[in-house]
Amino acid sequence: MSPNTPEIQTEKIQKLIDNISNNEKEGGILVIKGGYYYSGSLFLKNNVNLYIEKDSKLIGSNNIFDYPLMETRIEGETCIYYPALINANNINNLNIFGEDIIDGNGLIFLETILEQKKMESKMSQ
């Protein structure tokens, strides 16, 4: 992983998650350290712990295409939608902890959704 670059690091981070899950009998810890890292959807697995070191950040990409459409649950409904930055489904032995920030960077998406709903409301009048 390369810190402090606008490069999207999803594939590199996911590969580390997969390697920890596949190669560690007792699991392991993925440490985000030494700066900021941009990523799309990550899928945590059994026995993988995510630790954010002080002065480090995991930041969600602001490009919707970095979040692949898939079946997910939103507000109690199952639908095809974009997954979150951090995802875990039917996972055992998982911890997310640390001393700094996971920033989903969701404001840009919320603003887009609200604008879309506003336009739809105007069109239905």
Q: For residue range 91-108, what is the model confidence (pLDDT) as tens digits? A: 988 999 999 999 998 888
CATH number, position 52: 2.160.20.10
Q: Would you say residue 50 lies in a domain?
A: yes
Q: Would you say residue 1 lies in a domain?
A: no
Q: Would you say residue 44 lies in a domain?
A: yes
Domain count, the chain: 1
Cβ atoms of 8 and 63 within 8 Å: the answer is yes
Positive or negative, the CA dihedral 100, 109, 83, 61 is: negative
Q: Would you say residue 56 lies in a domain?
A: yes
Q: Would you say residue 5 lies in a domain?
A: no
Q: Would you say residue 43 lies in a domain?
A: yes
Q: Would you say residue 24 lies in a domain?
A: yes
pLDDT score at 24 = 60
* Closest among 32, 10, 35, 23 to 97, alpha carbons compared: 32
The parent domain of residue 46 ranges over 10-123
| pLDDT tens readout for residues 27-76 | 799 999 989 999 999 999 999 999 999 999 999 999 999 999 999 888 88
Report which of residues 44 and 23 the model is more confident about: 44
pLDDT score at 117 = 80
Q: Would you say residue 33 lies in a domain?
A: yes
pLDDT at 22 over 90: no
